[in-house]
């Protein structure tokens, strides 16, 4: 009824007004400090502006939440609850992406830049044989691991979904390597390759040979460690996909006389096509971003005598580690930003192509 006092709406309006005033006051103080209107020496006396801003935001949120007659109230509430996540994503992903793109066209030193150099970093990048070599071995690493990780994980999933005793223990055991951090894992396998494998080769051939001593075998060692670490994680996804296959379909196939291989290739694999797409995408993106195992196992070391007319000393350095060394070791931050943005373009394009091809295969299956 018109003129009726509504305490809930009144309280919401009061909270909203107080929140706006507190937020505006806190932001005004910060603006005055930034512009020098208030001397920076007095900033310690204005310690309350932080709590003032927090209280103001809380007041605005409560005011909007307790005002249910507001038009599109449900949409506003959804946006309010999603805002922390969206804001964090914007600050940590979207904003650094565009800032990095801008800095790649400058001579940024990690703190400031003095001039805009245009595409100088990009032309320099494609004239760097070590960077081109890193791109090549990264693509090789991705291809090998997409095949091996998914193959090993699928075979382990078939084993763990069988009716053999103790399958729960084996699931946990196969997944356990994925819980070990990449740096720790790299150092563990570094010890294994440098001590255990050399003793084995010494007993077999009389020569103490380490896989990490040669560029090709060191590259194979990184692949072995990555497959050993990541196959257990992908296995769990395949197990989930296999468990979603209806049991009556498998029973009908068995009654019709289908052999195990026929059941596998004509029923199980087509029915878990979406799972294969997910696992392939995860393996692809993870292999492209390989960094920690590469750093701990070889640190990119490896000799390539003649590549594009130059002697390469980082024969096992993949793309992520190359970008890291350019920024941290060489302290060429703008050059590293250009490499990182190209890395983003490559990863995005390859991922989109892979998902499209996999979705097309799902329809065909």
Do 221 and 338 lie in one domain? The reply is yes
Do 52 and 79 lie in one domain? The reply is yes
HEC states along the chain? CCCCCCHHHHHHHHHHHHHHHHHHHHHHHHHHHHHCCCCHHHHHHHCCHHHHHHHHHHHHHHHHHCCCCCCCHHHHHHHHHHHHHHHHHHHHHHHHHHHHHHHCCECCCCCCCCCECCCHHHHHHHCCHHHHHHHHHHHHHHHHHHHHHHHHHHHHHHHHCCCCCCHHHHHHHHHHHHHCCHHHHHHHHHHHHHHHHHHHHHHHHCCCCCHHHCHHHHHHHHHHHHHHHHHHHHHHHHHHHHHCCCHHHHHHHHHCCCCHHHHHHHHHHHHCHHHHHHHHHHHHHHHHCCCHHHHHHCCCCECEEEECCEEECECCCCHHHHHHHHHHHCCCHHHHHHHHHHHHHHHHHHHHHHHHHHHHHHHHC
Q: Which of 132, 139, 134, 124 is nearest to 302 (CA)?
A: 134
Do 166 and 283 lie in one domain? The reply is yes
**Comparison of pLDDT for 284 and 83, the residue scoring more:** 284
Do 90 and 232 lie in one domain? The reply is no
Distance CA 63, CA 331 (A): 49
Highest mean pLDDT (candidates 84-93, 162-171, 234-243): 234-243
Distance CA 75, CA 302 (A): 56
The pLDDT of residue 7: 62
Where a domain ends, among 118, 142, 163? 118
pTM of the model: 0.78
Q: How many residues does the chain have?
A: 365
Does 248 map to a domain? Answer: yes
Does 93 map to a domain? Answer: yes
CATH code (residue 308): 1.10.3720.10
Position 25 confidence tier, pLDDT thresholds 50, 70, 90: confident
Interval 28-73: pLDDT, tens: 887 777 666 676 666 666 777 788 888 888 888 788 777 766 566 6
Tally the C-alpha atoms within 13 A of residue 99's C-alpha that lie toward its C-beta: 13
CB 46 within 8 A of CB 33: yes
Number of domains in the chain: 2
CB 263 within 8 A of CB 250: yes
The pLDDT of residue 219: 92
Position 364 confidence tier, pLDDT thresholds 50, 70, 90: low
Tally the C-alpha atoms within 13 A of residue 175's C-alpha that lie toward its C-beta: 15
* Pair type for strands 304-307 and 310-312: antiparallel
Average pLDDT over residues 179-206: 84
Do 225 and 127 lie in one domain? The reply is yes
Do 17 and 84 lie in one domain? The reply is yes
Average pLDDT over residues 193-214: 81
The pLDDT of residue 4: 47
Least confident of 231-240, 260-269, 315-324: 260-269
Average pLDDT over residues 116-122: 90
Distance CA 324, CA 332 (A): 10
Where a domain ends, among 118, 152, 173? 118
Do 213 and 262 lie in one domain? The reply is yes
Does 1 map to a domain? Answer: no
Query: Does 307 have pLDDT greater than 80?
Result: yes
Residues of the chain above pLDDT 90, percent: 27
Do 232 and 352 lie in one domain? The reply is yes
Does 44 map to a domain? Answer: yes
**Comparison of pLDDT for 33 and 140, the residue scoring more:** 140
Do 142 and 68 lie in one domain? The reply is no
The pLDDT of residue 220: 93
Instruction: Provide the greatest CA pair distance for the chain.
Output: 99
Least confident of 2-11, 37-46, 70-79, 208-217: 2-11
Does 2 map to a domain? Answer: no
Do 134 and 98 lie in one domain? The reply is no
**Comparison of pLDDT for 209 and 21, the residue scoring more:** 21
Average pLDDT over residues 177-195: 87
Tally the C-alpha atoms within 13 A of residue 142's C-alpha that lie toward its C-beta: 23
Q: What are phi and psi of 263, to 5 degrees?
A: -60, -40
The pLDDT of residue 5: 44
Does 77 map to a domain? Answer: yes
Q: Which residues contact 225 (CB under 8 A, 6 or more apart)?
A: 185, 186, 189, 293, 297
Position 1 confidence tier, pLDDT thresholds 50, 70, 90: very low
Do 203 and 238 lie in one domain? The reply is yes
Does 288 map to a domain? Answer: yes
Where a domain ends, among 118, 141, 169? 118
Average pLDDT over residues 6-15: 75
CB 339 within 8 A of CB 125: yes
Structural tokens at position 363: 């329809």
The pLDDT of residue 114: 87
Do 110 and 133 lie in one domain? The reply is no
Does 339 map to a domain? Answer: yes
The residue range of the domain holding 156 is 122-364
Query: Does 138 have pLDDT greater than 60?
Result: yes
């Amino acid at each position: 009824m018109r003129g009726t006092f509504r305490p809930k709406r009144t309280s919401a309006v009061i909270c909203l007004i107080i929140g706006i005033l507190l937020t505006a006051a806190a932001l005004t103080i910060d603006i005055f400090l930034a512009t020098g209107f208030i001397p920076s020496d007095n900033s310690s006396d204005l310690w309350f502006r932080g709590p003032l801003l927090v209280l103001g935001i809380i007041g605005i949120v409560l005011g909007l939440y307790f005002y249910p007659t507001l038009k599109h109230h449900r949409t506003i509430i959804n946006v309010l609850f999603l805002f922390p996540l969206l804001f964090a994503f914007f600050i940590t992903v979207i904003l650094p992406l565009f800032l990095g793109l801008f800095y790649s066209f400058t001579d940024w030193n990690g703190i400031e830049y003095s001039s805009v150099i245009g595409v100088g970093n990009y032309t320099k990048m494609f004239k760097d044989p070590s960077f081109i070599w890193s791109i090549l071995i990264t693509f090789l690493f991705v291809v090998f691991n997409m095949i091996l990780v998914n193959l090993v994980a699928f075979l382990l999933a078939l084993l763990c979904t069988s009716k053999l005793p103790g399958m729960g223990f084996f699931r946990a055991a196969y997944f356990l390597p994925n819980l070990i951090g990449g740096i720790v894992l790299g150092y563990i396998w570094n010890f294994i390759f440098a001590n255990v494998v050399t003793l084995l080769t010494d007993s077999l051939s009389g020569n103490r040979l380490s896989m990490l001593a040669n560029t090709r075998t060191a590259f194979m060692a990184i692949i072995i460690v990555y497959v050993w670490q990541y196959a257990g994680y992908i296995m769990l996804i395949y197990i989930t996909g296999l468990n979603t296959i209806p049991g009556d379909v498998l029973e009908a196939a068995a009654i019709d006389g289908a052999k195990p291989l026929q059941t596998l290739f004509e029923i199980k694999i087509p029915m878990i096509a979406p799972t294969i797409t997910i696992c392939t995408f995860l393996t692809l993106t993870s292999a492209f971003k390989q960094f920690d195992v590469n750093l701990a196992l070889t640190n990119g070391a490896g000799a390539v005598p003649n590549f594009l007319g130059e002697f390469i000393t980082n024969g096992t350095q993949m793309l992520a580690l190359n970008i890291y060394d350019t920024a941290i070791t060489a302290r060429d931050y703008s050059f590293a930003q250009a490499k990182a943005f190209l890395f983003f373009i490559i990863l995005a394009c390859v991922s989109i192509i892979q998902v499209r091809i996999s979705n097309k295969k799902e329809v065909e299956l």
